[in-house]
Amino acid sequence: MKKAEWNGVVLAESDDIVTEEGNAYFPASSLKQEHFKPSDTHTVCGWKGTASYYDVVVGAAVNKDAAWYYPQAKAEAKHVEGRVAFWKGVIVR
């Protein structure tokens, strides 16, 4: 079972992980929703599509745009569509 943790708190955990470009993509249903706040940030990947972001919130601490997902991935990246990956100090193990 993989877990995503930040500031000592488990943000997501699942056995159903898709790995792409070295990133573990968790099913959206595995997220502990109380730790995620939608962000206005969006970026574009040439082959995956437009990514949306979440701020990760633990107590009073906010990790801006530390989680991302592709709500409508391009055909080549449908396997990560709707899944969530992490960076900015979020530890996945």
pLDDT tens, residue order, the chain (93 aa): 999 999 999 999 999 999 999 999 999 999 999 999 999 999 999 999 999 999 999 999 999 999 999 999 999 999 999 999 999 999 999
CA 35, chain centre distance (Å): 12
Cα–Cα distance measured from residue 20 to residue 57, given in angstroms and rounded to the nearest whole number: 25
- pTM, whole model, 2 decimals? 0.96
CATH (residue range 2-92) = 2.170.150.40
Positive/negative CA dihedral, 20, 73, 44, 90: negative
